[in-house]
Amino acid sequence: MAQVNTRGSHGALSRCQPRPRMDQERSRPARIAGPGKADLFHVAYVFVFKVREGGCMADMQGGPAAASRPRPLLTRALTLECRRARQLLAAGEWRLSLTDAEAALAVLARLTAPLPARRRSTARTRATDRDRRLQRILRTTVHHLDAGAVSPPAAALLAAVARALLPWHAAPNPPVAAAAPRYGSVQGAREGAPPTEAGEALLPGLTALFTALAATSAPGTVPLTPPVQPWQTRYVGRFRRHTRPATGVWTAETVGCQECGGKDGPWTVTCDWRRTTLGCPCGVVSREHGLCLSEIWLVLPET
């Protein structure tokens, strides 16, 4: 256990002492304050100190240091879908339809978009430009996912991309309207700054994959869509249905069971990448819930 000298010349934190040897720790007797001591109700806090740039920084679970760490990327689904897509392309078993090709080309344009050239660029503006590019990729992906026009395998791939880029849903430009969708607090993700470098590390592989997918839709090519397996999961929580009656105007409503009115689940979510059903614990299965695919997929925890 690291010891901290908390009593300098003015009673403030003065320095970090080196860790004692194990034999010293074992031989040191425990000291218990008697009832007459002034520090009877003294509470000892244990800090784990990390030396950073010549100083000591307290790294407590849930403290400022932990809150500033970048949240992890949820890439399990992306890894599986990219591997599957590459295998299908190599076997000649996936040739995009027109709507799939339109979505792939739109995402590809965002993936290959260069950063803006600025005459006066600072480290902050460059960081913002990098995050904004990732945010535009996410928004384009979600747009085509929720349009409902792509095939099931394309929807599965777009959904996996969207989940991996979820930290950029509100960064650097958060939703303006209070009722707009917000997915930054998905279970398993850590609040904080988005991991820009980790997100950019995905771009070369995604660019190569979407380039290969778009190349399968040459004029005169007959589309070939592979089957996908439906999936099912359980979710404890609420689903929010969002509508956009006008530009910049959003409304939101919590989805409930039409029979019992329950809103917190646990829901049995079944999806074949075309239609999603919600099963209530009371036994009612809802198909006309009005939720977009992203409104379901992006709140589910990664399994």
Reduced to 3 states (helix: H, G, I; strand: E, B; else coil), residue 210 is helix
168: which DSSP letter? G
Is 221 in contact with 95 (CB distance < 8 Å)?
yes
- The H helix count followed by the E strand count for the chain is 9, 10
Residues 203, 209, 215: CA angle, nearest 5 degrees: 130
Note the pLDDT tens digit of each residue in 225-237.
999 999 999 999 9
Q: What is the pLDDT of residue 184?
A: 58
Judged against a pLDDT cut of 50, whether residue 190 lies above it is answered with no
Structure tokens at 235: 């979710």
Q: How far is CA 220 from CA 82, 85, 98, 108, 216, in A?
A: 26, 22, 11, 22, 10
pLDDT at 166 over 70: yes
Cα gap 159→146, rounded to integer Å:
10
CA distance 228 to 71: 30
Share of the chain above pLDDT 70, in %: 74
Model pLDDT for residues 3-53, shown as the tens digit of each residue: 444 444 444 433 344 444 444 444 444 443 444 434 433 333 332 323 233
Model pLDDT, residue 38: 40
Q: What is the pLDDT of residues 271-302, one digit of tens each?
A: 999 999 999 999 999 998 999 999 999 999 88
H/E element, 76: helix 76-90
